[in-house]
A and B are shown apart, each in its own frame.
Chain A
């Protein structure tokens, strides 16, 4: 395998391995829209990074954490969470696009941040991705039981002496890290897809949360490999190809499940 192929394969698989289990929690906690908001608003982070000449990863991480904090604070005071998330997601995206255009004197290829540009990933990015993925998975393993309990019902968890707020903050931080490492691979528009499609696929074959998380990681990695292969064969953009591969796996799993029953 040549060095270039190894590099981008490692990048895609690393992101997918962490996205799978995190995506399970996104589904369990009904945070799909929240994930969307944080990842769309990550584009603001790109503008931020370009303006201050920071690494993209850092700019997106800071911005993702900031947006998540704002939403979580507002959410505890308002009823209209759906509206709030919808407004934040799309204005974040639009603001990000405008800001990136304003800030960069040279013409920046916006598509690179919207749907990812894995071909531009270097070894530093690969290391960042694997460190970030390890942090995400580590956080889930470390707080697995309290995270599960707090995902069932907040009040029940509190009554049982847990602190669901703390678990929520930890989970959100992990999500922000994932968004930051994933933006170069699948782009701001498709990060949520990489989170939830493998997790939804895994649900079809899992009766316990642990099995679902492991299956989601495996499914995600398989989608990453298939997507990479497909994008080289058909000369299609890599990020969307990975998501299409994930969708293909979901459809196959759904049909297989029906046939078995």
Chain B
């Protein structure tokens, strides 16, 4: 097996005196799709920021494979109206050559909006532009931070279909933070439940055909966890404070 793309060992992160993350051991390999789920404030975004190097961990280590290329799709792009930036120019800032940009733009359906201003785009258009931006330069790892947040249901489905297509073409690993249960089930090799620490991880069971699925869909993280088949027996005798969110969840 080749070396993992990114590995963390006993990673901890403090913010304003509060432990946001503790004892996180994680790795992702080439071509893998990993989804991280967890309640709000569980440190999902902070964890991604540690992985890409935007936040320095307070303890433990993050090692990235030498020369790794990471494409990052943020939750949102908070571009001020005062920032004049066309779609074409934005993609150009990501580098790559013109031919690559043209192909990607066509693939993601951005042909018609090349001259539009970023600040004027709809949510769905913006997410496709951000995805294209992240894919320029053929990343080894695509990182998505709740990238479909704020899109309506059909748009979310379409967006994730796009990601799957892109992955088939490029073969890059994908790490996403999501609370979209459908995607957790259908596309991921591994699901990790994070709540300050890794509560559990495992392969998602394929249950999308089951009628129970429809009932569970949309019930938040609690429902999703019921679907996971835990690979290892999860031992809760950690030597640290087990700080679950108010929802609590059933490790079963």
Binding site for B on A (CB under 8 A): 24, 27-28, 30, 77-79, 145, 148-149, 151-156, 158-160, 199-200, 203, 206-209, 211-212
Contacts and interface: CB of A to CB of B under 8 A. Distances in A.
Nearest to B82: A27
Contacts of A153: 74, 77-78
B16 A208 contact: no
Q: Identify the 8 closest CB pairs spanning chains A and B, nearest first.
A: A159-B72, A27-B82, A158-B54, A159-B70, A159-B52, A28-B83, A155-B54, A203-B82
Contact of B53 (A30, A78, A145, A158): A158
A199 B82 contact: yes
A152 B93 contact: yes
Contacts of B154: none
A133 to B, nearest CB: 22
A200 B83 CA distance: 10
Contact of A155 (B15, B72, B80, B137): B72
Contacts of A200: 82
A139 B74 CA distance: 28
Contacts of B137: 160
Most buried by A among B72, B78, B94, B117: B72
Chain B interface size range: 20 to 34
Given A30-B78, A152-B93, 11 more contacts: A77-B16, A152-B77, A152-B83, A153-B74, A153-B77, A155-B74, A158-B54, A203-B82, A207-B86, A209-B89, A212-B84
B213 interface: no
Interface string B38-82: 000000000011001110000000000000001110100111101
Most buried by B among A151, A159, A160, A209: A159
A167 B123 CA distance: 29
A258 B183 CA distance: 46
A30 B74 contact: no
Contacts of A149: 93
A30 B80 contact: yes
Contacts of B95: 160
B71 A159 contact: yes
B79 A208 contact: no
B82 A156 contact: no
B84 A208 contact: yes
A28 B84 CA distance: 9
